[in-house]
Amino acid sequence: MDDFVSSSAGAGSALSIDTSSIIRKLNSRAEVLALPVGSVVGDTHGGLTFADSIAAVLESRSIAGWQDVRLASGDVWTIIVVNR
């Protein structure tokens, strides 16, 4: 489990997320549509791992869209939460 420190959160705020549970590859719109609510998708490449068509479907299933979060180690992830 890694600690994420959100750039939008107040100083000292952190969120623990098991980075091994983040979905890092999706190959089709059907895969995105089959994801259960609560799925976390992302990468350490600014979301560039995902084709534009995949990113668009992810965005349509998210309320907050893509978010950059920083690990306590300094690594930055770009994630999106599927919540609809």
Distances (CA, A) of 49 to 13, 33, 52, 59: 28, 18, 9, 15
Residue among 69, 63, 72 nearest 47 (CA): 69
Q: What is the pLDDT of residues 27-62, one digit of tens each?
A: 999 999 999 999 999 999 888 899 999 999 999 999
Q: Please write the tens of the pLDDT for every residue from 5-22.
A: 454 545 455 566 678 889
The pLDDT of residue 70: 86
